């Protein structure tokens, strides 16, 4: 199946990932329809049509599917019933089977392990007793994670002692019917490889990026990660192996831990464009969103090469926006107050805002990107530009 420019792409989810996909699609002459329960969502600002409906509204999603040529997603927790209803009308890419695996930590770990892909030792838990048994098997410290609905550090807790009391406390804190307990691994850095694959098996990968977090949320991505050549090659080969094994059609982000002995283990998979790949919008010949579009439309992939030797991306969280004086109990902020002129005085730093209606602490409101001759220089520049936003 080849969908040429002029075709209509359906997107499930209207956040920043859908918005940037829509921008890339419009540039290439495609039309975009988005389904999201929030009226005036970020993607709607650049889409041709928004259908405002909940993801479990079967009638609405079926009607949505009838007016597009292919469907993709930027929100992974679409109910299986809705995905099945859509798939009976038009293709969903990546496939519902890929989504079924990657959005569930237990299935994801079991898939990786069964395909010989290195992961941290883990134990599946359905009770506090299972957690205690897992701690006896794996030792402490360990990380207990809910099987579903976890992101940006949510749905997980660290356990530092291998006793029954700690197991019970962790299980009650997570409060989920199914969890995975992972042995804590000491790593020197976290990296990610964003890659794309087509129906014909064509594969392309961006250089591994180094990810630095603050409060469990991605803060800075610097590219390329400073790795020995053989580790860089191994990271890309692991991503390629995973993409082939899972039957990917679209974009996949593979998060990895680099251990002290230069071995890699896989942390998580995201079958969509990823925050750590946002720098590609400005810094690569073909950005991750155009790759997603090319892959799901049956087109050849673009060149993922960097335009300059290095790049960096810094997230802009809602914490940068000063609080309003509203008497409302919400924590919304005024979205006009950061010092944009001071930031934009950094002439080689690019600003991306997502058009969200309100700013909240920890909420991703936008990002900055820059390019440079070295990763260190790129990181310094993007941090300086972000710091300028605070100079009110």
Query: Do 216 and 331 belong together in one domain?
Result: yes
Query: Do 146 and 202 belong together in one domain?
Result: no
Which residues have C-beta within 8 Å of that of residue 114, sequence separation ≥ 6? none
Query: Do 339 and 357 belong together in one domain?
Result: yes
Confidence of residue 8 (pLDDT cuts 50, 70, 90): very high
Q: How many CB atoms lie within 10 A of CB 336?
A: 9
Which residues have C-beta within 8 Å of that of residue 68, sequence separation ≥ 6? 8, 9, 10, 33, 90
Tens digit of each residue's pLDDT (9 = 90 or more) over 231-253? 999 999 999 999 999 999 999 99
Query: Do 38 and 135 belong together in one domain?
Result: no
Query: Do 194 and 245 belong together in one domain?
Result: yes
The pTM score is: 0.93
Q: Which residues span the domain enclosing 304?
A: 187-388
pLDDT number for residue 76: 85
Q: How many domains does the chain have?
A: 3
CATH code (residue 259) = 3.30.470.20
Tens digit of each residue's pLDDT (9 = 90 or more) over 266-325? 999 999 999 999 999 999 999 999 999 999 999 999 999 999 999 999 999 999 987 753
> Which of 137, 121, 111, 118 minimizes the C-alpha distance to 247?
111
pLDDT of 354 above 60 = yes
Residue 331: both structure tokens together? 């924590």
Query: Do 281 and 193 belong together in one domain?
Result: yes
In a domain, 28, yes or no: yes
Which residues have C-beta within 8 Å of that of residue 339, sequence separation ≥ 6? 388, 389, 390, 391, 392
């Amino acid at each position: 199946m080849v969908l040429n420019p002029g075709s209509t792409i359906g997107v499930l989810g209207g956040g920043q990932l859908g918005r940037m996909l829509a921008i890339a699609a419009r540039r290439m002459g495609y039309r975009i329809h988005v389904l999201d329960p929030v009226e005036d969502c970020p993607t709607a600002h650049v889409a041709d049509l928004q259908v405002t409906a909940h993801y479990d509204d079967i009638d609405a999603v079926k009607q949505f599917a009838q007016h597009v040529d292919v469907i993709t997603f930027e929100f992974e927790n679409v109910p299986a019933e809705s995905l099945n209803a859509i798939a009976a009308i038009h293709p969903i890419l990546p496939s519902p089977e890929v989504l079924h695996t990657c959005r569930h930590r237990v299935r994801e770990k079991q898939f990786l392990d069964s395909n010989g892909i290195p992961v941290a030792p883990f134990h599946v838990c359905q009770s506090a007793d299972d957690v205690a048994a897992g701690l006896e098997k794996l030792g402490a410290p360990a990380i207990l994670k809910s099987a579903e609905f976890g992101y940006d550090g949510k749905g997980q807790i660290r356990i530092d002692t291998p006793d029954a009391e700690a197991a019970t406390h962790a299980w009650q804190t997570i409060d989920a019917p199914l969890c995975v307990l992972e042995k804590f691994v000491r790593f020197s850095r976290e990296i990610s490889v964003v890659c794309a694959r087509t129906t014909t098996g064509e594969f392309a990968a961006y250089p591994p990026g180094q990810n630095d977090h603050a409060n469990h949320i991605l803060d800075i991505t610097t590219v390329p990660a400073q790795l020995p050549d053989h580790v860089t090659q191994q990271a890309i080969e692991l991503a390629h192996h995973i993409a082939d094994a899972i039957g990917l059609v679209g974009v996949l982000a593979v998060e990895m831990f680099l251990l002290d002995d230069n071995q890699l283990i896989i942390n998580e998979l995201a079958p969509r464009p990823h925050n750590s790949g946002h720098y590609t919008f400005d810094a690569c010949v073909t950005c991750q969103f155009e790759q997603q579009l090319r892959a799901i439309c049956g087109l050849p992939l673009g060149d993922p090469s960097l335009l300059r030797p290095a790049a960096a991306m810094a997230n802009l969280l809602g914490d940068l926006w000063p609080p309003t004086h509203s008497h409302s109990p919400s924590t919304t902020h005024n979205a006009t107050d950061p010092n944009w002129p001071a930031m934009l005085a950094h002439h080689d730093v690019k600003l991306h805002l997502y058009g969200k209606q309100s700013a909240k602490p920890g909420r991703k409101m936008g990002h900055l990107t820059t390019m440079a001759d070295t990763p260190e220089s790129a990181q310094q520049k993007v941090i300086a530009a972000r710091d300028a936003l605070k100079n009110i």
